Amino acid sequence: MDTTNATTSTAEQILALACELVQTRGYNAFSYRDLAGQIGIKSASIHHHFPTKADLGKAMLRRYRENFADALEAIDRSRKSPSGRLSAYFDLFRQTARSDRGVCLGGMLAADMLTLAPEVQAELRAFFADSEEWLKGVLEAGAASGDFSLNGSPKDVALAIVSALEGAMMVARAHADPARFDRATRCLLDSLTKS
């Protein structure tokens, strides 16, 4: 019956910490030594789990995408109306914006895009594609039901929403003011739900 690890595996510990460091400092501002020091092992041990930094980056994004997909499924289960689902999606980002000064892993890696290995770049594009596809479905349903008035195709509005949320996190953090995320995204949400 004991299928859950009482202690998190080292690999998972590394991934969680690496994500946090990327979200706060960026891909090129953390090292294997940073990870090792905070976890309490040596950097050679990190290389055992993730031979290169590209391997680590790819694994980080895979994990982040999975967690994000789980969150979207949870929304689909708990919220049935398009506006409820859209609002819950915004809250996903809101939580990150309010958590200690980090921004979305996707937005952060988008900034570092041109320094990433091709495999990591591909994984990042897939992350955005995941969100855009889910949003497109919600927007189509909301447009059909009359809940939303869209200023463009569902596909384009989905892209606009993802872009705006990523940007809002960045700018809000630059001011060390999470309230700015709320102010910026409230305008966007209102423009979609207003008749």
CB of 109 to DNA, least distance (A): 14
C-alpha–C-alpha distance, residues 105 and 49, integer Å: 21
Cβ distance to DNA smaller for residue 42 or 125: 42
157 binds a copy of itself (CB under 8 A): yes
Contact pattern for a copy of itself over residues 91 through 120, marking x by CB under 8 A: ----------x-x--xxxxxxxxxx-----
Per partner kind, with CB cut-offs from 5 to 8 A, the member of a copy of itself, DNA, none near residue 2 is none
Binders of DNA among residues 41 to 80 (CB under 7 A) are 41-45, 47-49, 51-54
180 binds DNA (CB under 7 A): no
17 binds a copy of itself (CB under 8 A): no
Q: Identify the residue among 39, 166, 178, 195 touching a copy of itself (CB under 8 A).
A: 166
163 binds a copy of itself (CB under 8 A): yes
176 binds DNA (CB under 7 A): no
